Amino acid sequence: MGTEDEAAPPSSSLVKKKKQGLGWIEWIRGWMVVVQEMLFQRIMASHLHNPMPLPPINDLTCIVTGSTSGIGREIARQLAQAGAHVVMAVRNTKAAQELIQQWQIDSEGFCIALNVEVMQLDLLSLDSVARFAEAWNARSVPVNALINNAGIFSIGEPQKFSKDGYEEHLQVNHLAPALLSVLLLPTLMRGSPSRIVNVNSVMHYVGFVDPEDMNVTSGKRKYSSFIGYTSSKLAEVMFSSVLHKRIPAEAGIGVVCVSPGIVQTNVARDLPKIVQAAYRLIPYFIFNAQEGSRSALFAATDPSVSEYCEMLRSDEWPVCAFISQDCRPANPSEESHEVQTQYEVWEKTLEMIGLPSDAVERLIEGQEVKCRYGQLQ
């Protein structure tokens, strides 16, 4: 009867009519969220202590990426000084070792023996990510919290690509954490109840993802570092939302994205000099790294977070848990709720990081998975 042929043109037409960016109303709403967070984040988070008190975590093992500076350093330090086994997954291992020595000195007066180790991880190399996961999984040590903290925002810089061929914001902020999260699912299951905590950004509210042009090379959109950053952060929320749905409740793994707020960190070193000056002129509005670490620490350690993730899963909520800088649940951007785009981002991401479409299900069932990167078989 030619039913499929007749149905094809409307579907194709719909694809062509898909928006190529945020509508102006969505754009304004998104920027309103960003501005509100910048101006009022201190008031919104005034109920929080700084540093944040942590529950007993002596039996927790936490992997923290990008933990030699900024928010990641604060997360790793506070977890370690609270008694957790912390794995600093970093590119600069020497800097990490020096930090540990300093933390040990700082902790001597409290009679705390820190349990911190360093492992090499370069997010600009998917081979490095796969090798890290392979090395960790071989140890059969459970992980209770994977904190994907590392990120870049190279404002004003021209488009750059990793040696894997992917735009650098996309790879560091989305692809590499996605690969690490999926490959560590077996060890996260052993640490159940466990969490994958993705340090995201309020800037995802003004992001837009084209699953057919995630590298922003087609010419449909003119590349800017702003587009690279905001789209990578939105892609992370979308991928995390599908991962949250694909992991069965019995696996005991929660998936959470957090906003640290507007924070003065080493990301600012990539900003134009005039913007860096503005950052220094408005310290009241901008969080320091310790304040910016609170939402990630809350998401990684508070018992209520696992319950919240399970509630969203049972309610079939379209997005994963999102914790704002005030450590309260928040609703991510309107665009992140686009379920069809979520799955398109999911499929494209798995293709880009060299994993089969059923990788999550197979890893959860204890099967081996072939990855295009690293030594995995």
CA distance 364 to 150: 25
Q: Are 225 and 156 in contact (CB under 8 A)?
A: yes
- 327 class by beta-carbon count within 10 Å (0-12 exposed, 13-18 middle, 19+ buried): buried
> Token match 């690293």: residue?
374
Q: Are 334 and 21 in contact (CB under 8 A)?
A: no
Position with higher pLDDT, 10 vs 341? 341
Question: Percent of the chain having pLDDT more than 70?
Answer: 89
Reported as a single tens digit per residue, the pLDDT across 116-134 is: 999 999 999 999 999 999 9
- Cβ neighbours of residue 238 under 8 Å, at least 6 residues apart? 209, 336, 338, 341, 342, 345, 346
* Nearest partner of 198 among 58, 321, 328, judged by Cα: 321
> Token match 């071989």: residue?
138
Residue 223 appears among annotated catalytic residues: no
User: Looking at residue 127, what is its pLDDT?
Assistant: 97
Amino acid at the residue 73? R
Reported as a single tens digit per residue, the pLDDT across 139-163 is: 999 999 999 999 999 988 999 999 9
User: What is the average pLDDT across 17-41?
Assistant: 89
User: What is the average pLDDT across 19-25?
Assistant: 87
Q: Are 294 and 50 in contact (CB under 8 A)?
A: yes
CA distance 198 to 52: 19
Question: Percent of the chain having pLDDT more than 90?
Answer: 82
Map residue 58 onto helix, strand or coil. Answer: coil
Each domain of the chain, given as residue ranges in start order, spans 53-261+288-365
Reported as a single tens digit per residue, the pLDDT across 148-201 is: 999 999 988 999 999 999 999 999 999 999 999 999 999 999 999 999 999 999
At 12, the pLDDT band (50, 70, 90 cuts) reads: very low
Residue 357 has pLDDT above 60, yes or no: yes
In this structure, the chain runs to a length of 377
Q: How many CB atoms lie within 10 A of CB 265?
A: 23
CA distance 62 to 55: 14
User: Looking at residue 38, what is its pLDDT?
Assistant: 87
Q: Which of 205, 229, 279, 343 is catalytic?
A: 229
Q: Which of 50-59, 60-69, 340-349 has the lowest mean pLDDT?
A: 50-59
User: Which secondary-structure segment (H or E) carries 145?
Assistant: strand 145-148
- Cβ neighbours of residue 230 under 8 Å, at least 6 residues apart? 201, 203, 204, 206, 207, 208
At 275, the pLDDT band (50, 70, 90 cuts) reads: low
At 273, the pLDDT band (50, 70, 90 cuts) reads: low
CA distance 182 to 179: 5
Q: Which CATH architecture has domain 53-261+288-365?
A: 3-Layer(aba) Sandwich (3.40)
At 277, the pLDDT band (50, 70, 90 cuts) reads: low
Mean pLDDT for the chain? 91
